[in-house]
Amino acid sequence: MRNLAQNLNRITNRSASFLSVGININKMRKEFEMTQEEMDEIIAINKEGGDPVMYLSGGTPMGLSLQEKINDYWEKLGNKYGFDPLSAQASPKGGLFFTALTLEEKEA
């Protein structure tokens, strides 16, 4: 759970750039609720880790890092629910709830 909160905080920090141009991002956010199965998948990804233990010649890692796996999963959720995965952040409700920019709002 701690890694999930850390990942959401990293994503939130990326969204802070909207504030520097005077856009109130909180008014454009929508609240979403993931299923317990989706949360269990995120927890399983965190438990698996993912930092490559093998490197190809030249220092290229073999396999995905934990961050890449989590980012890929958030992209999958974004496609399913219609939100920008880089804008996701924890909801004050906690648990399975999070907020993000919908794809329509991002394009507007």
Q: Total domain count for the chain?
A: 1
pLDDT for 103: 82
pLDDT of residue 21: 45
Distance CA 53, CA 84 (A): 31
Band of residue 28 on the pLDDT scale cut at 50, 70, 90: confident
Average pLDDT over residues 34-52: 89
29-33 vs 97-101, strand pairing mode? antiparallel
Domain span at 85 = 2-107
Strand-pairing partners, residue 101, are 29
In angstroms, the CA 90 to CA 96 distance is 9
Per DSSP, what are the bridge partners of residue 90?
Answer: 98
Task: Report CA Rg, the chain.
Answer: 15
Q: What pLDDT shows up at residue 16?
A: 45
Query: Tens digits of per-residue pLDDT, 46-101?
Result: 998 876 666 666 767 677 888 889 999 999 999 999 999 999 999 999 999 999 99
